[in-house]
Structure 1
Amino acid sequence: MTDDAYTIEPSAAPYPAIRRRGVAERRRRVVAVVGALAAVVAVPAGAYAVVGGDGGRGADTATPMSSASAPQSTSASGPATGSGPGRPATDGQLLDGITFDQASRALEQCLDSEHVGRAVSGDLAKAESYRIILAAKSTGDSNDPGDGVHVVGVAERPEGFRLICNVKDGVSAGISTSSKEASGPDVGLVVPDINGGDLYQQSVIDKGSWKLPFRWGVIGTVDPSVKKVTVSYGDGDATAALDHGWFVASGVLNEQVTKAPHIKGYDDGGKLVYDSDTDTTYDKILP
């Protein structure tokens, strides 16, 4: 309809496209992003063994994350009982020298922050309600300088609920949340997290001048019929880990980009069943 704005007689409203955009907008509205406020929780110095500027690419760019489905073991398939979050399906989802204990501590510190309580409450405010699916270095920008740690946790209730915490300089620097409940009934077999740009964008105001190399991550949900997900971003390619209904991919960016990550999904026979290029709800160009 925007293209018709300057014509004398606009064409009929494209109802299917409008509905798909409405679905995407509902997904966006679910997100609660809380910026960095007062420092409330300190983390002991040296708590996070984050690798330097290369994001540890020597350890994982030649060998991307495993594409195998998560093992159906108790330790990987659900949250820890009482003492903390559950583990990711693969060790490759803990990046940049961050251990599971350090990632767990970061999630707990984040949830204990006063400003985070405005975004999550009840059981969702407890670390044991989550399973960590990604921990990686976060890179600061001109608006919020200083590197830190991103930790992504997912919960079983509400369905598809996920939380991204950013712990920086020893305190919780921000949080974003979203839920599958806002996706609508007509989503595809692969659903990239519509607010996952926190993990693959440094800053909108610094567009074209990001600090490189830059650790990026892409997450989303997958249907059980999807057996492989690949992600291309800038100069890098990755095969995602499939983790109990989630896909998790990561790499290191070494060039400035204008396009969002390109995501593809395949079934057991290798047939392409999802391509972000044809997903009308997926923003293909970075803001």
Structure 2
Amino acid sequence: MNKPYEHPELEELMREMLAQDAYTIQPAPAPYQAIRRRGLAERRRRVAVTGAALAVLAAVPVGAYAVNGGGGRGDADTAAPHPSVSAPHDRAASPSPAPDGPARPATKGQLLDGITFEQAADGLKECLRAEGGHAGGARGLGSANDYRIVLALRSTGDSNSPGDGVDVVAVKAKPAGFRVVCTLEDGVASGISVSSSDAGPPDAGPVLPDVNGGKLYQQSFIDKGHWKLPFRWGVIGTVEPSVAKVTVSYGDTRTTAVLDGEWFVAAGTLNRQVTLAPHIKGYDTAGRLVYDSDTDSTYQRTLP
């Protein structure tokens, strides 16, 4: 006699059904090959996009400039720039500022006496740091990124400021005609001179010599008649777009200035004592004289 609720046939059927269901609900194996193919395709797509981007960057044209002369210590040591494909023929193009420092001058000949751009840029940063206590905070003078270096040259010491060094002239767009002259000795800032075209006369002509630029072309009045020679000098100022040429004569030196944007920049070496300031002339595109410092009532022709 069978036990209550015992049904061997039913139990056997249930075991068979459960075994079949176990195979039915078993998850299918992961599609490894399909996933691998998709990953390889995506990787190739990313490499192709990156390569195309690099090709576009490499194809972007970059303007260049070349110079004649410059860099020496002789009399004819300001550069005569060859205009780039994007620069006007009558003046040099002003480079764009670098992301982490000042912009370069328009020509290599504006960096004299073996001074490199990197040294000039570091010198400017040092002056701004010394003046303001930290880089870029110099009493509203801004950071080095705001400036473009237009001249760097050897600085000859005198009785009032003994010790030779380097002068770095840097300009920025605002306020108009704003510039700093940074003086360094052994890489350490020893002074900074600030000026702008606002300091000039209200009826200024097409050429405006820097009214405080004597720092670059004269020694102390204490040493009058007994300057240390040879003496490296520089002259800076602003010009209107109508001006195509500026010449500067000083003692036994005569040179043609570089027109760097709205600025003119000239330099030379003085080998004899002088009593008169640099003689500056400006010419238009037709070669007509449009400015003469000898007839400029605001220009101090006699050295103090």
The match for 1:170 among 155, 172, 187 is: 187
Report the CA distance between 1:125 and its aligned residue: 2.9
Question: Contact 2:168–2:181 at 8 Å: present in 1 too?
Answer: yes
Structure 2 match to 1:41: none
- Secondary structure of 2:80's partner? coil
Higher helix share: 2
**AA aligned opposite 2:280:** I
- Secondary structure of 1:77's partner? coil
Q: Aligned partners of 2:156 and 2:86: how far apart in 1?
A: 33
> After superposition, where does 1:61-72 map in structure 2 within 5 Å?
61-62=75-76, 64-66=78-80
- Secondary structure of 1:83's partner? coil
Q: Give the alignment's Cα RMSD to 1 decimal.
A: 2.4
Greater RCO, 1 or 2 (C-alpha within 8 Å, sep 6+): 1
Structure 1 match to 2:230: 213
> After superposition, where does 1:137-148 map in structure 2 within 5 Å?
137-148=154-165
Structure 2 match to 1:121: 139
Greater Cα shift, 169-178 or 188-197: 169-178
Question: Contact 2:248–2:278 at 8 Å: present in 1 too?
Answer: yes
Question: Contact 1:235–1:255 at 8 Å: present in 2 too?
Answer: yes
Question: Contact 1:116–1:175 at 8 Å: present in 2 too?
Answer: no
Q: Aligned partners of 1:177 and 1:79: how far apart in 2?
A: 22
The match for 2:213 among 182, 196, 199 is: 196
The match for 2:99 among 82, 107, 115 is: 82
> After superposition, where does 1:124-273 map in structure 2 within 5 Å?
124-273=141-290
Q: Aligned partners of 2:222 and 2:273: how far apart in 1?
A: 14
Question: Contact 2:81–2:107 at 8 Å: present in 1 too?
Answer: no
Q: Aligned partners of 1:246 and 1:276: how far apart in 2?
A: 16
Q: Aligned partners of 1:233 and 1:137: how far apart in 2?
A: 17
> After superposition, where does 1:9-88 map in structure 2 within 5 Å?
56-58=72-74, 61-62=75-76, 64-66=78-80, 77-88=94-105
Report the CA distance between 1:65 and its aligned residue: 2.9
The match for 1:94 among 96, 111, 119 is: 111
Report the CA distance between 1:115 and its aligned residue: 6.1
**AA aligned opposite 2:170:** G
Cα gap change, 1:70 to 1:180, in 2 (>3 Å): farther
TM-score (norm 2): 0.70
**Which blocks of at least 5 consecutive residues in structure 1 are unaligned?**
1-54
Q: Aligned partners of 1:63 and 1:144: how far apart in 2?
A: 26
Question: Contact 2:155–2:165 at 8 Å: present in 1 too?
Answer: yes
Residues 113-171 of structure 1: CA deviation (Å, up to 9, x unaligned): 04688x9433x331110000000000111222111000000001111101000001331
**Which blocks of at least 5 consecutive residues in structure 2 are unaligned?**
1-70
Cα gap change, 1:226 to 1:76, in 2 (>3 Å): closer
Q: Aligned partners of 1:99 and 1:239: how far apart in 2?
A: 22
Q: How many residues align?
A: 229
Identity across the alignment (%): 62
Report the CA distance between 1:232 and its aligned residue: 0.2
Report the CA distance between 1:70 and its aligned residue: 8.5
Q: Aligned partners of 2:133 and 2:83: how far apart in 1?
A: 32
Q: Aligned partners of 1:280 and 1:116: how far apart in 2?
A: 40
1:112 aligns with 2:133: no
The match for 2:296 among 273, 279, 287 is: 279
Question: Contact 1:76–1:87 at 8 Å: present in 2 too?
Answer: no
**AA aligned opposite 1:252:** T
